[in-house]
Structure 1
């Protein structure tokens, strides 16, 4: 039970305190890297919790006995066999909590998928009725609306939605930057990332990391799409377009050009990106650390406990 308890403690530590560190790091690094770190931290927390529960419910605690056996001579007072009566109780409770969480996760995922399908079907119907003959992989549906609207819908039949009012208010370069921004959402699979972030946030809302994950991911995908659009069309057209349409949003499950904090997005457009080589190394190292953080804390706690017992 020692390894399971240490892993649960590591998971709780990362789940409660990592948002503070991730938020500070996200302001200094590439938004794509920040997205990876946020999501991998969340996945690592979920994986750590599942592993801890499995160590409790598996016969003999799975591989835990073999690991503890290495230190058994030095810290036998900490061996889980000293309190065997707790194992079935803790394992049963942990298993029930895990089953409930996984059930809520599956239910939230199915609900969101159903609602997204309805929204997508309506837009595809409108695209077909409009008589669009756009043969590109990513068609654009133009709405007869005076408000400057621009958003995208992901999935296998992804599309960009824009309004006539948008084209009327923006210059040709600004309009190109807005459409490039929306296409970046689709090509970067940002809708999928947002979907999983919202499912985790709704299911495991009691944990600060999961509670803040959807909002952080929504802002970061906007920053990532801004960076892609700026690289293709220039920063100034995108900046002026943001100021023009910042007050108009799209459907709830779409990624709109007006999404996120406009002030943050405008300020980040002035930030220079890191060299590709250093950014790649930083991304890989940070990703490994983010995913393995609960396990690293668990190993450290076990080693510290063993050292204290030896003393």
Structure 2
């Protein structure tokens, strides 16, 4: 029981203050790929810990404790008999209601996003049919005088670029723009944003989940800038970003000149493109270990409780 109380307290503390650590690291200019890994694993780890915690509370931990479902049943029986339930039964009933609300809320938000995706599917399918003759990660060129470039996620990712982009930018800047959008597809940035936005909509009361979407939107752009700069040079990415800034942004896609334009231009002008592959791997491993420590402990205790409950 002591371990359960400690994990419940740890999960709640992580949900309310877990966002402060990646924000502190961002102030120290840690590589955006490392920060993005920390944000994603922190949000997923918190949600996994939350569901595991609810399971632990609901299941009997030994033969002397009936678990929340059993106590909630006793609460209902007491109310049906016209008798006030005990404190434990009332708390258990409230816990079951809260768990049901959380699960229903997540399911409702996921259903809404899937319905929105199905509604936009015909338009995306038309673009993918137009790009059927293009090789993987090659752009679909459209007739538009404005310099536009965007990427659309999914099983078959798509990059759309305009003729105006090719006419108004140098070949090096066009290549840098293409590498930026390819980095979004390689890094599954659209999926990452969909996950953190869904969790934030489902559980907006949690500061960690509420802060994650804005942080992730900024970090995917910084990470794509770094990858494009390593392939094409910071000056080419700087030119492309400065020329694309101020043009209209698409809805539901990732465009190069989307967020933090001034800060990104300043970062590129200093030649800051992140660390080496080895340093990024070490950093991602470190933040992953820290972010997954709590859910791993919660899952281990949940497995132990399940084995005790059904032994």
- Scaled to the shorter chain, the TM-score interval is 0.7 to 0.9
Residue in 1 aligned with 2:53?
52
Q: TM-score, normalised by structure 2?
A: 0.80
Does the alignment pair 1:123 with 2:124? yes
**Is the alpha carbon distance of 1:193 and 1:123 closer, same or farther for their aligned partners in structure 2, counting shifts above 3 Å?**
same
- Does the aligned pair in 1 maintain the 2:134–2:140 contact within 8 Å? no
Q: 1:202-248 CA deviation, whole Å, 9 max, x = no partner?
A: 11111111111111111111111111111111110110111111222
> What is the rounded CA distance, in whole Å, between the counterparts of 1:268 and 1:95 in structure 2?
49
Kindly state the Cα deviation for residue 120 of structure 1 after the two structures are TM-superposed. 4.6
> What is the rounded CA distance, in whole Å, between the counterparts of 1:108 and 1:42 in structure 2?
16
Residue in 2 aligned with 1:17?
17
- Does the aligned pair in 1 maintain the 2:150–2:256 contact within 8 Å? yes
> What is the rounded CA distance, in whole Å, between the counterparts of 1:118 and 1:141 in structure 2?
22
Q: 1:67-120 CA deviation, whole Å, 9 max, x = no partner?
A: xxxxxxxxxxxxxxxxx9544333332232222222222222232233234435
- 3-state DSSP class of the match of 1:60? coil
- 3-state DSSP class of the match of 2:251? coil
- Does the aligned pair in 1 maintain the 2:128–2:158 contact within 8 Å? no
Residue in 2 aligned with 1:208?
207
Does the alignment pair 1:231 with 2:230? yes
Residues 137-148 of structure 1: pairs in structure 2 closer than 5 A: 137-148=136-147
- Does the aligned pair in 2 maintain the 1:223–1:268 contact within 8 Å? no
Residues 145-164 of structure 1: pairs in structure 2 closer than 5 A: 145-164=144-163
Unmatched tracts of structure 1, length 5 or more: 66-83, 298-311
Residue in 2 aligned with 1:30?
31
> What is the rounded CA distance, in whole Å, between the counterparts of 2:273 and 2:222 in structure 1?
13
Tell me whether 259-268 or 274-283 shows the greater mean CA deviation: 274-283
- Does the aligned pair in 2 maintain the 1:178–1:257 contact within 8 Å? yes
- Does the aligned pair in 2 maintain the 1:56–1:90 contact within 8 Å? no
Kindly state the Cα deviation for residue 61 of structure 1 after the two structures are TM-superposed. 6.3
**Is the alpha carbon distance of 1:188 and 1:109 closer, same or farther for their aligned partners in structure 2, counting shifts above 3 Å?**
same
Kindly state the Cα deviation for residue 19 of structure 1 after the two structures are TM-superposed. 1.8
- Does the aligned pair in 2 maintain the 1:31–1:220 contact within 8 Å? yes
> What is the rounded CA distance, in whole Å, between the counterparts of 2:171 and 2:10 in structure 1?
52
Residue in 2 aligned with 1:194?
193
Kindly state the Cα deviation for residue 140 of structure 1 after the two structures are TM-superposed. 2.4
Residue in 1 aligned with 2:284?
283
- Does the aligned pair in 2 maintain the 1:4–1:55 contact within 8 Å? yes
Number of aligned residues? 277
- Does the aligned pair in 2 maintain the 1:53–1:98 contact within 8 Å? yes
Residue in 2 aligned with 1:179?
178
Unmatched tracts of structure 2, length 5 or more: 67-84, 299-311
Q: CA RMSD in A?
A: 2.7
